[in-house]
């Protein structure tokens, strides 16, 4: 496993990280807790140290499961969670309504708000520490940006939490480069977490380039395009009730076929490294300039083991260029 710096925080974390959204069940048609804990253990056993979760993932469920899984192994983990999405109060910017279709565990409908108000962050960090069963969060990230709270006020409280030892590094997510300028001007920014994969490259010229130039860690999320780039989502795959992927244009049968056609053309590159499609996608992402960490979601130990092993797939410059040429030919047609 390769370990890379989390910006200027002094912390190093595995280049391939474990993403804990799906194990919270919400928006993924439910999740099996035993599989989830085993997936985290399998990841840690294979050298993964970076675990990324958030309060909103399963409305507390994902953080609780991560907390259970790291009991007794806390010191081996770079624990990343987030603040700023709230569902128990109406404050900040309205983000979305999580309706029954997204929730398998119960039938509650939640209104989710983006809120980075200092008093809410102070409250939520305690709740996260409690769920995670720890006294410190290694990387605390603002999940989505809130237009109603000045970034200076948010950074001030984050710096204070850092002074108290409750968090060790400060990150943002779903942010513009102008917002990142504000974080840095107000005091500190160690990382940025953004959507990035072979078929989601909008942030390349903006956030990725910005992070690379300014020594900020870039954590790619959904690098497997929520499973599509593993090749495991064929035309016949039926998503469980409550899985956000069903009904989305990206997961239409036509689009699955287009992604599978892309993967078929990439097969020689995967075969050359005895890698799976998923491993090739993760290795490609980790090799992009400025991309320091890749957060791969996994629901069970089998997926976790496969994803962790992507760190030993090293693509040479000419291979990366050839893969890019194939991706560019297909990307326009893929939703
Ligand atoms: N900051 C943000 O706003 C934000 C947003 C999204 C994600 N994230 C973070 O990024 C992490 C990763 O993103 P993601 O979970 O959205 O998507 P992802 O990593 O692109 O895909 C994860 C899904 O792909 C499938 N999969 C994973 N490994 C596989 C394997 N080896 N073989 C076959 N299928 C496999 C699993 O779903 P199935 O088995 O059900 O197909 C899994 O849930 C999240 O967990 C979260 O920590 C952050």
3-state class of 25 per DSSP? Answer: coil
**Tell me, what's the pLDDT at 151?**
98
Give the count of domains, the chain.
1
pLDDT tens by residue, 241-280: 889 899 899 999 999 999 999 999 999 999 999 999 999 9
167: confidence class by pLDDT, cuts 50, 70, 90: very high
The rounded Cα 6 to chain-centroid distance in angstroms is: 15
Q: Is the pLDDT of residue 145 over 90?
A: yes
Q: Which has the closest alpha carbon to 197: 237, 230, 173?
A: 230
- Residue 263 maps to a domain: no
Whether residue 310 is contained in a domain is answered as: yes
Strand 85-86 relative to strand 110-114: parallel, antiparallel, unpaired?
antiparallel
- At residue 30, the pLDDT reads 86
Q: What is the rounded CA–CA span in Å between residue 293 and residue 1?
A: 12
Which atom, in ligand 1's list, is nearest to the CA of 223? 20
pLDDT for 320 equals: 98
Q: Whose CA is nearest to atom 30 of ligand 1?
A: 303
Measuring CA to CA, which residue among 279, 269, 294, 286 is closest to residue 232? 279
Q: List the beta bridge partners of residue 93.
A: 114
As given in the structure block, the two tokens for residue 315 are: 């693509």
Q: Which of 298, 295, 245 is nearest to 82 (CA)?
A: 295
Residue 107 has a pLDDT of 56
Confidence of residue 217 (pLDDT cuts 50, 70, 90): very high
The DSSP letter of residue 204 is: I
Residue 25 beta carbon below 6 angstroms from any ligand 1 atom: no
The pLDDT tens digits for 81-100 are 999 999 999 999 999 888 65
Q: Is 322 a domain residue? A: no
Q: Is the pLDDT of residue 224 over 60?
A: yes
Going from the Cα of 156 to the center of ligand 1, the distance in angstroms, rounded, reads 32
84 lines ligand 1 (CB under 6 A): no
pTM (2 d.p.): 0.97
Q: Which residue range forms the structural domain that includes residue 35? A: 3-226+288-314
Tell me the C-alpha distance between 320 and 158, whole Å: 38
Instruction: Check residue 287 and give its pLDDT.
Output: 98
Q: Does 277 fall in a domain?
A: no
DSSP state of 208: I
> What atom of ligand 1 comes closest to residue 233's alpha carbon?
41
Greater model confidence, 66 or 101: 66
Residue 155 lies in a domain: yes
Contact 199, 227 (CB under 8 A): no
198 lines ligand 1 (CB under 6 A): no
Query: What local confidence, expressed as pLDDT, does residue 270 receive?
Result: 98
Average pLDDT, the chain: 95
pLDDT at 115 over 80: yes
List the CATH number of the domain containing 132. Answer: 3.20.20.100
Give yes or no for residue 224 CB within 6 A of ligand 1: yes
- Residue whose CA lies nearest to ligand 1 atom number 34: 227
Q: Which atom, in ligand 1's list, is nearest to the CA of 29?
A: 40
What is the DSSP-derived secondary structure letter of residue 240?
P
pLDDT at position 99: 66
Which residues participate in catalysis according to the annotation? 57
Among 21-25, 290-294, 320-324, name the one with the lowest average pLDDT.
21-25
Q: Is 17 in the pocket of ligand 1 (CB under 6 A)?
A: no
For residue 196, report the distance from its CA to the centre of ligand 1, in Å: 12
Average pLDDT over every residue of 161-166: 98
Establish if 248 belongs to a structural domain.
Answer: no
Percent of the chain surpassing pLDDT 90: 90
As a whole number of angstroms, the distance between CA 19 and CA 48 comes to: 11
Q: Ligand 1: distance of its center to the CA of 245 in Å?
A: 11
The pLDDT, as a whole number, for residue 106 is 56
Q: Is the CB of 222 under 6 A from ligand 1?
A: yes
pLDDT digits (tens, 9 = 90+) for 316-330: 999 999 999 999 999
Q: Is residue 23 assigned to a domain? A: yes
What mean pLDDT do residues 115-136 have? Answer: 98
Do the strands 12-14 and 16-19 form a parallel or antiparallel pair, or are they unpaired?
unpaired
Q: Is residue 80 part of a domain?
A: yes
Q: Which of 50, 82, 286, 296 to mutate to test the pocket of ligand 1 (most atoms within 8 A of CB)?
A: 296
In ligand 1, which atom is closest to the CA atom of 296?
Answer: 19
């Amino acid at each position: 496993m390769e370990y890379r710096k989390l910006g200027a925080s002094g912390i190093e974390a595995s280049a391939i990280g474990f993403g804990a959204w799906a194990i919270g069940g919400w928006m993924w048609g439910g999740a099996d807790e035993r599989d989830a804990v085993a997936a985290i253990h399998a990841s840690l056993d294979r050298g993964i140290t970076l675990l990324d979760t958030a309060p909103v993932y399963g409305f507390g469920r994902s953080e609780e499961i991560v907390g259970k899984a790291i009991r007794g192994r806390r010191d081996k983990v770079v624990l990343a969670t987030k603040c700023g999405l709230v569902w128990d109060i109406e404050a900040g910017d309205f983000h979305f309504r999580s309706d029954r279709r997204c929730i398998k565990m119960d039938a509650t409908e939640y209104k989710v708000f983006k809120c980075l108000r200092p008093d809410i962050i102070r409250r939520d960090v305690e709740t996260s520490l409690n769920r995670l069963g720890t006294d410190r969060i290694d990387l605390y990230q603002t999940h989505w940006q809130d237009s109603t709270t000045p970034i200076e006020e948010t950074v001030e409280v984050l710096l204070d939490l850092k002074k108290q030892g409750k968090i060790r590094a400060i990150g943002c997510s779903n942010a513009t480069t102008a917002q990142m300028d504000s974080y840095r001007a107000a005091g500190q920014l160690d990382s940025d977490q953004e959507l990035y994969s072979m078929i989601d490259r909008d942030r390349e010229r903006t956030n990725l380039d910005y992070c690379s130039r300014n020594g900020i860690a870039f954590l790619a999320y959904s690098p497997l395009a929520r499973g599509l780039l593993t090749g495991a989502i064929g035309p016949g795959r039926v998503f469980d009730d409550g899985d956000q992927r069903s009904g989305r244009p990206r997961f239409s049968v036509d689009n699955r076929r287009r992604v599978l056609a892309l993967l078929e053309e990439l097969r020689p590159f995967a075969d050359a490294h005895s890698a799976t499609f998923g491993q090739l996608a993760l290795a490609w992402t980790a090799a992009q300039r400025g991309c320091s960490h890749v957060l791969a979601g996994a629901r069970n130990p089998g997926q976790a083991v496969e994803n962790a092993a992507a760190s030993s797939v090293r693509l040479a410059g000419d291979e990366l260029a050839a893969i890019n040429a194939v991706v560019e030919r297909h990307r326009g047609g893929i939703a």
